[in-house]
Structure formats: C-alpha cells, structure tokens
Structure 1
C-alpha cells in the first residue's frame, strides 16, 4: 500500500519522494503552463492523462518546500498546491488519495535556521497575495459562466499589472476593459444624442415655435377683439426670448386690449403698429422700437423702457408713470394732453421736436420727474415744465436707482483723486438740491487751505444725501488741494478747476451766490475757458449778485461755444429771470427751434 493511501482520513497527506523544483519562480512557471494544458473538456483530460500530471506536479511542488525558506514564497507555494488539489477533485475518476490535504515540505535545517530570524519580522509579499486573490476572483468569475461582477476603476488598473502572470486574470481584465469600452461608447452616443437634441431645440424648434407665435399675432391683427390670443403669443415669445434674437413685430398689426404686465422682451420692434388699451405695466422692453406707432389708452407704468425709440409716435391717453425712460427717444413724437410722465426716469431722454397738445398740463404730468435731465426742450416747453411740482422727486425710483447704487456701493471708483466724491456732488447738484429753508447767513471769507485744514476725511458712501452735496464737493476739492502741495504730485490745475466748478454749482444752489461767483471768476473760468457749461454757470452766478455786465460776458462766451443749458434751467431757476432769462431762451431756441407738428398730429399742437 502506498504512503498516501495509508494516511488516515482528515490528516495531511505526507509528501512522497519527488524531485523538487529548483526555485519558487520555476514552480510558478510550471503552475502557469499546467493551467494552460488543463483547459480542456473532461473527456480530453481523461484521455491525455492530465490528472496524473497534476498529481505529479503536486508531489514536486510539495517537495520544493525543502528549498524554500522565505515565508512569502512558502505561503505562495502552499496556495498553489491547494489550488491544484481543488482542481484535481474536479477531474474524472478521482482517487481516494486526491481527497487528502497535501502540505508543503518543511525547509532544510540550514534554511530553517537562516530563515528563523527573517520570519520574526517577515511580512507577506503583497504582490504574491494579490496574485492569489485575483486568481481566485478570476476563477469564481469563470466558474459562474462569466456572469459575475467585472472590475472597474482602481481595481481594474491594479489587476492589469498582473494579467501576464495568470491566464484567468488576463481574461477577467480583458472582459472588464471591454465592458468599460461598451459603457463609454453608450455614454458617448447618449451625450451626442443629448447635445443634438439641445441643438435641435435651440436652433430648430424654438425658432419654429417663435415664428408660429409671430404669425399667430399677425393673423389676428384685423380682428376687433384679439387681446387674449395676442397676449398668449407674446408670453410665448417672452418665454423663448433668452434663446432668440429680438423679434420683429412691426407693421400693420393691431394690439387691442392686450393685458401682458411683466412681459420681458429684448429689443422688440413694434414700429408702425397700433396699440389700443394695452397693459404692459412693469414690463421689461428695453431697446424696443415704437417708432411711427399709434399708442392710445395704454399702460407702461413702472416698465423698463430704457433706450427705447418713440420717434414720430402718436401717443394719447397713455401713462409712463414711474417708467424707466433712460435715453428713450421721443423725437418728433405727437404727445396728447392726457399722457402721463409722473415719476418717470427721464435721464438723457430726448424730446427734440416733440409736439405736445396745447392743453397738455405740464405741471401735473411731469410731477416728480427730472425733466431737466432730458434733452431737446425748446424754450416754451421749458417755461411750462418749470411749473411742475418736484417736491417728491428725491423719493422717485429714478433718483433711487441712479444715486444710491452708484455711490452707496461706491461703484464710481476714483479714476483720479477726488473723482468719486466729485461725481457724487455733481450728480446731486444736477438732480437739484432742495432750496435752503432760510436765507443763508453771511459766512466769513475763508481760503481753501483754511476750509481743508478743518475737514475730516469722509468716504463718499457717507455723503450720499442731497443736504451733504457741499460736503462731498469740498471733500473732493480738499483731496486734490492736499495732493497739489506734494512735490511728487502731477499737474492738477485742471482737475482742481473742474472740482471747483462742482463746488461753486452746489454753493449757488445753496443760496451762497457771492462765494460761487468768486470761485467761478478766480478759480474756474481762467482754466476752463473752453467749457461752455462752466461759463454758463459762471454767468448765472454773476447774475445772482447783480453783476450783469460780467454775467452777459460769460453768457456770450457760452453761446459762442454752442452750449445749450439743460439741468441748470431747473436747478438755477431762482436766478434766471427777466432779460437774462430772455437772452437764455433765445440761445436755446437758436439751437432747438420750435418745429411744425407732424401731419399725423390731431388738433391744436405746440
């Protein structure tokens, strides 16, 4: 009876005499080659005597333990033996000895003594451990019919390092990589499909839907009541507007009883259309065009109409109360008696050649609206506008939007010394300062150095109130005055004269005309002798102190420079009277003459 057969059940099978492999590397190579030879059917394995080859390999592998002293190599060799013992049981006609555990032979006495010290601190070889673990994982995947989980991410990258050491690992890595490529391809196709869908939506579907909405508006143009249909189409256009260029809604189109408050369109073109009882309150229609459009009984209250064109429009019974009309153009427009601009922001709006109904109530329709910041008025219109009540315009939306964001948040950053403070004072002055409650008391004549020496530096954000305009102006002047005394400072003469112009303008509105005239005469006009605005304000300052000869001299020079006063007509109205006013009105009408009303204006116009 053989030694193996005589082993009792459950005890490890002893190692029979067999030639050991020369080293662990040779053992591992033979292990890989044997695995390739065993990749056959059970019938082939029986015919080719594979089982006996496996038994012989196990005996030699076990005997190799005599030559292995490194713990990591012994552990790897034992794992290989156990692998083949497991495989042997799956081959045809197993023998009774195949069910016994085979143990690696003990190392020789010499190796055992040499390796004893190493064994105390030895750690398992990570690479060998990973190969065995990955090989076991690969076999499980193979035995499951290649339906188990595949490797991804770092696990796949790590396994790829050992693919050449084991055939099953190679197949598992290859299958995992192929699956990832398939996922990548599907993801790429999905991404391309998604991008294509977005592009089709943006450049095909949205333009198509927008065009259909415009066609729907034009089809209803001749109906007596088309408000709801047009409203729905306009809302649809507003929905697509961020993705579309400005819409062309011009031509012979009737917009009747359309209620679309809050509508948002970018630069829509409503030229030559007809608006009847249209409600666009609070809408955002910046850069729109209503040129040659007839607008009747409509509501633009609180709407953003900045940079909007109303050239030669015929407007009646319509309200622009609290609307943003910054740089809006009403040139040659026909404006009926019941059009309301109360509280509107008219900064840099243009009314050149606009015709107002003879019965137009300027005093109420321009209440709390800074008409003096607009342009294009003739002398008759200015005279009428001066009657408008402006006591509450400091609470208007236009004043709030212009002054507070620009200076409380200090967006007007100084590009040059004192620029922020000067800009604040200038803005407050051009909007117009409240008149002093009582005539100012005569103040002692102080030099600029004396004024600046007693001032404490203040940030512009702390001066953003009309009553503090003079503080802001003096702060700007003092900043430059201090710099001017520095040896390294650049030539600030022109800068200082410009700041002094602002300061004198504020003093003039504050009732301190003597100080203002002195500054204009000695500090401003000698330097800013080509600035028509500064010369005009100097003329008013000298008119205020009854120095009429010098006032007319400054006015003449201002006219020669073709300066047309605007904000000064409101802010300095207390000083512009009599013959001096007449001379100024003649100057205005020379450059902005009254024009005959357009043919489409109905009734008496002026």
Structure 2
C-alpha cells in the first residue's frame, strides 16, 4: 500500500492533530497492549488497514505528547521505546520505504513541560479552595482512591476506577457533586479502559509535584508503615492504631493489603472493647452522682432551677450571654444558639482575631437587633432562622447558610457572601449594598414588601434568580450604575497591578483575568476587548517561538478564547464568538460546561441567519449542547442570564429556565 501526503510529514511521520497526552506511562502501556491485540495475526493487510494505520498514528501522536508529563528518566526511556516500536509498525503497514524512516520530529518524545504541571497544580489548588470543608473531605477521599501503592520503594501509581466504586465514600449525591466539579475542572479525567469509561487523576506527575496530594500520600504510607511494624513485632496490642485512625483508613484507602486489613480490624475491635469499658465506668460514676444529688437540699434544687430559667431569658447588650459568646470566640470554640430567641446583643468583630476553626450554629434561632459587624462567620448556619434588624456589615459570611430563613430589615452591606446559600429564604428590606455576591445562591427566594437594596452590588454574579426577578433587578440596578462601585473598582485593580519581573505568559494570564473581570460585570466592553486582544497577541507570539512554545499549556489559551468569545457575544459579534469557541480544544468543550453553554448561545443566534435545513440543524445541536452543559456537566449560568439576555432567543430562554428549574427543584 502506498502512503499519501496526508499520512506522513517530511520525515515520514504520521500527520495527526495535536493530541492530549496520556495521563501516565501506565496508561500509555495499557493502550499499547490494546492496540497490539487489534493487529492482524497474518502479514496480509486486512480490509480495515487504513483504519488501523490511523489508530496507530493517533497513538503515536498521543504518546509523543505524553513526554510533557513524564519527569522520570526511566519512564521516558520506556515511553520512547514504545514510540519507536509503533513508528516501525506504522511504516511497515503503510508501505513507506525504510530509507525514509528516521527518529526525530513528531516521533520523538516531547520534552517535559514544567509549566503544564505547574498550571495543573495551580488549577488543583483553586479547585480545592472552592470547596467547603465537607466537600474538601470528599475530594480528598476521591483523590486517594485514584492512587495506589506501587513497588516496595514507597512510590505510588495511578489507579483507574469506575465511577460507581466512588459512590460509597459519602452520601452518593454529595460524592457525585464533588466528582463532577473535579472532572469539569480537569483534575480528574475520564479514560477508556477495556471498552468502558473510567476515572483517574489528570497526570501521574501530580503525585510528585502537588504538595497537598503528596501530604495525603505520605499519611497513607505512614499508615502502611504502622501496620507493617505491628506485623513484624508479633501483632502486639500496644501497637494497634487509635480507633479514629483505623476508621479513617477504612474509609479513605481502597488498596489495603491483607496485613493492613487485619490491622484495621484488630484496632477497631480493641476500640469497641475500650468504648464499652468507658461506658461501664461512666455509668457507674453517673449512678454515684445521681445518688449524691438525691441528698441535696430542696432549696438548693430550687435555686438551680431558678438560675436555669434566668439563663434562658433574653440578655441585655452587656449581659452574661454576650460575654459568654465573646469568650467562646476568643478561645476559637464553636457557638451554638440553635432554637434560641436572642435580642439586643453586640457581637461585632466576633472571631475576627483569627480564622475560626469551628462554625456558629444559629439554626432555627430567632435573632432581634443583633450586631455581627466585621465578624468572621464563614461556614456558619442560619438555616430556618428568623433575623430581624440583624447587621452583618463588613462581615465574612463565605459559605454561610441562610436557606429557609426569614430576613427582615437586616444589613449585609459590604459583606463577603461568596458561595453563601439563601435558597427559599424570604427577604424584606434587606440591604445587600456594596456586597460580594459571587456564586451566592438565591434559588426560589421570595422577595416580600420592599425589595432588597443592591446598590453598588453586581447582583447578577449570584445564582438562582428567576427570569422575572432578573428583569426587575435589571430595571432597578442596571450594570451601568456599578461603574464607580467599590467592589467593581477593587476587582479591576487586582488585575491591573503587574508584579515585578512579570514574564510574558504571566502577563497574558493577568490581562485575560482583567478582560474576564470586565466581561462578567458587563461594564466597559471596549476595554475588555482591548486587553483580551493584547493577551491573545502575547500568547500567539509565544506560540510562534519554538523554544517558548514547548513550555506553553493549552489551558491558558482555552481561557483566552473563552473570554474573548464572551466579550464578542455581549457585543453582538456572533460570528467572531462562534469562531473563537470553535478553536477551543475538544476536551474543553466536552468537559467545561461554561464554554459549552456559550457555544450553545452562539450557535442558536447564528442559526437565525441561516436558511433551512441548516437553521433547524444548528438550533437542534445548540439545544443538545444546552442540555448537556446543564444536566451532564452540571453548569449553572449566573451573569450570563442577565448579560446575554439581549441576544438569547425566546425559545432558548424558555428551554433554559425549564432545565434550570428541573435541576434545582
């Protein structure tokens, strides 16, 4: 069979588009084994020879790209050997003359890309930081299941697991939500394994370059060392693990060997025996206390009852309850006022001297005229509470819960409400002026009486507003009025300031962040387009330099394209937006719901100017993209619902609202 120009480059190497690297040498070897099994036994070429040659070409392309994530000389040598083998096989099947074969070009393993790994580590840190404490714990368990102990040298390798195998790590819906975020952000990737889709870590190198994961792996190795020490010393009871550590190992580690399993079982058995002994001792002591209390005088009992009643009554601003709560905060201890009615307390600056390790529990409480100004109450719970005249001015309420609460005449002015939850709350005369509402959730919230005050606040950065509410808020608090707002000016200033000795790629990333800030506020789109264009020009310049191009990651370029597309959409430049989105990598559109959502909008509007049947086909494809972005990739649009409302078709808006309602009822 004669090869064609399409099949090879000047060096006789197969021509294929740039491929995503394999996640590890192990996956590369596995795919090589699968490819070997697909080859014909006889020398004669089968009818599907061209298809097999193309599969080999794609494998070689991915294998060469894998060099970017292989930092071990031994692994690189093994990978290059496989590339050489399959290059020879390609030339043999395609009929290319051996004299034209040479090692080099696309058949050589790509150099290790430290910038790619640094970007992956950075993305991983950002992903973990976006989780609440319980979500982070689930993420830790998931990631530990995606690594397994390697040889006895203490190293680890990547594990490839089925999604259903992770569902038992916590409540299935919570595991699914965290796992979807890990997949969407690229920290966890889906790979084809034996004809089925499975999950693994994005890159094997993360086990050596990501400090957080390294620490978790080190804890895993320490547990293995404890179990082996127990085994080698005759399984002595004194060497068993504390019950809490044994329970955690059982929940976290999916690769316990026989010795470790016995160690966990023995440790839990001793823990149960110790617990029964403590319970028996406690019961005996309690019986003694009860008998002793029976001898107390009746007037003393009455005194205690009266004192308890007094403690449950409302306190004055300088009363014992206020002092007690401030004392708990000073000691970094949790506060619980669940199901309590509290009035006239001044708790300004609560927990502000340190980042609280524990959260405040105000579930089902009733608070009247309580001051929490400048308090740090992140992750606190005010669910189902009644808040009347409560002030949270300039407080940090990140990840706090106000779901189902009734909030009247209360102020959140200048507060940080990042990823806080107000779902199904009822709001009347609430002040959200100059407030950070990024990713705050307002699903099914009910606005009663006088609407909340959003002066100086980008209310559209929050989730959950209904179409009717968006139309009303857009009328009362348009984006143009935010130009001089403190929150907007601060966000812009953060990206305007260039650090000393800024590298070109870092400048491109910073300018793209600035363009994105302009874009999500929907203010000054001309400046957004200008800095976005400058960022793209820097990146294109770096791509044209051979030495610099090797160190570039595809992720920043995808971010640049996504940002520019969003700006184009707001400017009504639909053709330019569609073209930018179609330059994204396949992986980006397949796994990143935000980009796929924008592409659905762009294709819907673009279809309006096309004749049938192309118009119907484009519209159908766009609706399918919309469905996948929301239902499969779990993307929930926020600012897009306001900033793109002017270009979205009525049919698209209606379909979008129905899908969002179904996902959030």
TM-score, normalised relative to structure 1? 0.49
Structure with larger Rg: 1
Using the size of structure 2 for normalisation, the TM-score is 0.45
